[in-house]
Amino acid sequence: MTSTRDHRYSDGDGFGNPYEGFDFDPPELRVNTRLVDPTDDYVLADIVDESQVVPDDVDVPALVEIGLAYVAIEEYEQAVDSFGRAIAYADEDSVEAQEAWVNKGVAHSQLGEYDEAIGAAREALRIDDDNDHAAIAEMNLAYALWELGDSSEPLEHAERAVELDPRHPHAWYNRGYFLAERGQYEEARRCLDVAISLGLRDSSVLGERERTLDRLETAEAERPAAEPSEWTAEVDGDDVHERGE
């Protein structure tokens, strides 16, 4: 069935003549035919091969943005590839490289590749362990370690994330979650309340708060009542003194 919907196009002024924005023979793909046989099947592949790329001409932030766009549509394998390219072309130990490592670790976590996620997060922290990127690296490191069965180290990294970025709701949520797993329900509830106050109000956070409150009430109900002090009387001559034991 043919669509009857009107398709809207750009209302621009049209192309010039000749149009310089497009060329069937772009300069970057031109070859010296005296040196290279243009009928060779490998000519184009050799020209666009990454080994022919000039590193200084690569826009690293743009590669990171492409990776984030893939993350937004849940294409995590392509995101990992984009972040990896950004790392390859970024200056070693630069902020751009750290940002790419952080995001690469997050993408690996989404794929369930926790060993790779841990490695990426640790590399980001090696570059700089005291900035905003480090806070996200600490959060992802805590999560990946937990998924691999580490029940002790994740809380340490979650607390470090809170120190680095106390305005990040996910940092507070992670800290609350790990505290609850350790039975520290009152402090866990406080952390979850902070996460909610900072805008993190999805069902998983609200559900975790409800579970923490239930555990807290159960723990308080099972806590044995404090026994009263035993008092005896001591007689010292004509005076009587009460003594608590």
pLDDT (tens digit per residue) in 135-160:
999 999 999 999 999 888 999 999 99
Place 53 in a pLDDT band, splitting at 50, 70 and 90: low
- Rounded to two decimals, the pTM is 0.68
Please, what's the largest Cα pairwise distance for the chain? Answer: 125
Place 2 in a pLDDT band, splitting at 50, 70 and 90: very low
* Mean pLDDT, all residues of the chain: 79
- Label each residue of 40-76 as H, E or C: CCCHHHHHHCHHHCCHHHCCHHHHHHHHHHHHHCCCH
Spatial contact of 39 and 65, defined as CB atoms under 8 Å apart:
no
Compute the distance between CA of residue 217 and CA of residue 83 in angstroms, rounded to an integer: 45
Give the pLDDT score at 228.
Answer: 54
